[in-house]
Amino acid sequence: MMHVNRCGRFDGPLWLLCKAKPTAMPDNPAADHSLDFALLQQSVVRSGGRNRITLLWLLGLLGLLVGAVVALLLYLNNFEAEEAARRRAADAQWLEQSVQFHFRRLEDDLLVLARQAVLQAATPAGAGPSPNLPPMQGGLLWREPGVVLSSGWIAAGRLDDARVAPKRWQLDRAAHPDNAQALTLMQTTTRGLRRAAYAGLMLRPDGTSTDVIWLAVPFFDRGEFAGNYLAAVSLQRALAALVPTWFSQDHSVRLESDPATSLASAPTAGVPDNLPYRVALTLPGTDLFAQVELTRARPATVPRIFFLVALLFLLGMLAALYGLRRDFVKRQQVQALLQAQVALRTAMENSVTIGLRAWDLQGRILYVNNAFARIVGFSATELVGLSMPFPYWPADQQEQLVKVHEGIIARGTSDDGVEVQFAHRDGHLIDVLIHEAPLNTASGVQIGWMSSVMDISERKRAQRMAAQQQEKLEASGRLIAVGEVASTLAHELNQPLGALSSFANGLLNRLSDDNITLPELLPVVQRMARLAERAGGIIRRVNDFARRRELSRQRLDLVAFLTRVLAAGSDDMVAPAQWSAPGHPIWVDADELLLEHLVNNLVGNAQDWAAHGSNKPQVWIDLRQDSGLGLATLSVADTGPGVSDDARESIFNAFVSRKEGGMGMGLAICRSIVEAHHGQLEVGRDPVLGGARFTVVLPLAQPHLKEPHEAPGNTHH
Please give the pLDDT value at position 706. 44
Distance CA 430, CA 394 (A): 10
Residue 419 bridge partners (DSSP):
433
Q: Any residues with CB less than 8 A from the CB of 21 and at least 6 apart, and which?
A: 3, 4, 6, 31, 33
From the CB of residue 171, how many other CB atoms can be counted at a distance below 10 Å? 13
Residue 266 has pLDDT above 80, yes or no: no
Cα(670)–Cα(297) distance, rounded to whole angstroms?
Answer: 121
Q: What type of residue is 615?
A: N
Q: What percent of the chain has pLDDT over 90?
A: 7
CB atoms within 10 A of CB 319: 10
Contact at 8 Å (CB) between 148 and 233?
yes
pLDDT of residue 588: 92
Looking at residue 717, its pLDDT comes to 33
Residue 194 carries which DSSP code? Answer: -
145 pLDDT above the threshold of 70: yes
Question: What is the pLDDT at residue 43?
Answer: 43
Over range 179-198, report the average pLDDT. 89
Given a cut of 70, is residue 463 above it in pLDDT? yes
- pLDDT for residue 587: 93
> What is the pLDDT averaged over residues 256-260?
62
pLDDT of res. 713 = 38
Spatial contact of 210 and 236, defined as CB atoms under 8 Å apart: no
**Structure-model confidence comparison of residues 181 and 68, the more confident one:** 181
Which tens digit of pLDDT belongs to each residue from 334-389?
A: 888 888 888 887 788 777 778 888 988 888 899 888 888 888 999 888 899 888 88
pLDDT band at 217 (very low <50, low <70, confident <90, very high): very high
What fold characterizes domain 460-549? Helix Hairpins (1.10.287)
Query: pLDDT tens-digit profile of 412-444?
Result: 777 778 888 898 988 888 899 888 888 888 888
Q: Mean per-residue pLDDT for 111-123?
A: 84
Residue 215 in contact with residue 168, Cβ under 8 Å? no
Strand order in the sheet with 619-626: 577-579, 619-626, 631-638, 692-699, 680-685
Residues in the chain: 717
DSSP string, 440-507: E-TTS-EEEEEEEEEE-HHHHHHHHHHHHHHHHHHHHHHHHHHHHHHHHHHHHHHHHHHHHHHHHHHH
Name the residue ranges covered by the structural domains of the chain: 3-41+352-455, 45-124+134-351, 460-549, 551-717
pLDDT over 50 (residue 591): yes
Check whether 20 has a pLDDT greater than 60: no
pLDDT at 458: 87
| Alpha carbons within 13 A on the beta-carbon side of 140 | 15
Pick from 184-188, 381-385, 568-572, 582-586: least confident: 568-572
Which class is domain 551-717?
A: alpha beta
d(CA 264, CA 278): 7
Instruction: Decide if pLDDT at 454 tops 80.
Output: yes
Helices (H), 194-300: 235-242, 245-248
CATH number of 3-41+352-455: 3.30.450.20
pLDDT tens-digit map of 625-682: 988 889 999 999 998 888 877 777 777 776 666 666 566 677 888 888 888 888 999 9
The pLDDT value given to residue 481 = 55
User: Quick check: 714 pLDDT over 50?
Assistant: no
With cut-offs at 50, 70 and 90, classify the pLDDT of residue 156: confident
Judged against a pLDDT cut of 80, whether residue 260 lies above it is answered with: no
Cα distance between residue 484 and residue 481, in whole Å: 5
